Structure 1
Amino acid sequence: MKSLIALIFTFFIASISYCQQSDPAAKKILDAVSAKFKTFKSVQAVFTLSNEDSKGHVLGTKKGTASMKGSRYRISVAGTGQEIFCDGANIWTYDKSANEVTITKPDPSASTISMQKLFTNFYDKDFLYKLNGDKVVNKKAVQEIEMTPVDKTKPFHKVYLLVDKQAKTIYSTRVLDKSGNVVVYTVPNMNGSANLPDNLFVFDKSKYPGVEVIDLR
């Protein structure tokens, strides 16, 4: 579960620069996705998280919800008892089975890919990227972009993005890690004008009676 949490939460804001070897056509699409997301005041989305083997066989699927507002976010994954809150300065990871919450600080240098970066400036200086072409997935016209990390010590070796051609948003992200596992995030739609209060992104201890707090800040 810790690896799942790590995958879902480092993905959100990096300074953008471009490698000369990257595909200008892919860059144009990614720029449009980033520009579209920046027009959203706050976002709510339902996503599907799937695990696959190296042959593409689905090993398990979970659904979740994501709420985002600036550097703040809140993620829940159904069936795991896990919730993650971030107010931009602190991260609370709640485990229902143990009734405990762990508090940490955001780590912008972390080497994993999380959902927040997925929705924003995920194509930073650490990646080379190229456009693989157009596809139709679930009756949606999408464009596939292949991303390869420059740093070979990253825990993953390929990331495949499907961009909704009409909406200019990420439809799915397939992450291939070096152990042979494949994690796929699918976001069929999102609400970019959700009205989200700031306290949504803060863990309220009073709502979790008896919770044990582990402060690692």
Structure 2
Amino acid sequence: MTSFLGFSAIRVITVCAAFTMTAGLALAGDGTVPADQIVHALQPKPLTRGLSLAEPQIDRAAKAKEDTFLSSVRNRRTRSLSLDEREEIASIASTKPNIDLEIQFDYNSADISKTSMQAVHELGKALSNPSLRGSTFVVAGNTDGIGSDGFNQDLSERRADTIKNYLVQKFGIAGSDLVTVGYGKTKLKDAQNPADAINRRVQVVNMEAKTAQK
């Protein structure tokens, strides 16, 4: 498979850092982020053109490679993604509008915690917003650091699938617009406390935002 890890326009950073967007958001008492704030976080930011005439050409080339890669993972089963593909998704995602909603799951389970059902509902409302229509969203599952690598990888994939199924069934969002990926325990939000529930979360990123130019 052709590797896209060499994109000069993409800087590889940890997904945990890339998705940490909850700071400054007005959260409900249970930590739920309202739909309008999710929409705002996932909308593209204006792009200011540089002075170099070559710059737009580099952007177009990088965008074409991203589009080719996204097409290759669209409609794929979550567990079919290779390690390289998972890391490439993380790499591209690091440059896109994103938010970490910290959706919680029951321990050792892909069942959404009752306390997080409203958070998932708000996500569904946000992704149904006309301003986000036509984008492809990554839904990334993460576990805590307890247990084997294989068990946690499988669990994270099932958690991502749970969120996708909810969004498709409850909000009618096209399955082809949702790319699911699992990172197991490889991208802990709190590496100092691997068993903390904060690590059991789902992250969302707008992968195909149409960026406005100034």
Q: TM-score, normalised by structure 2?
A: 0.29
Q: TM-score, normalised by structure 1?
A: 0.29
Higher relative contact order structure (alpha carbons within 8 Å, sequence separation ≥ 6): 2
Question: Normalized per residue, which structure has more strand?
Answer: 1
Question: Normalized per residue, which structure has more helix?
Answer: 2
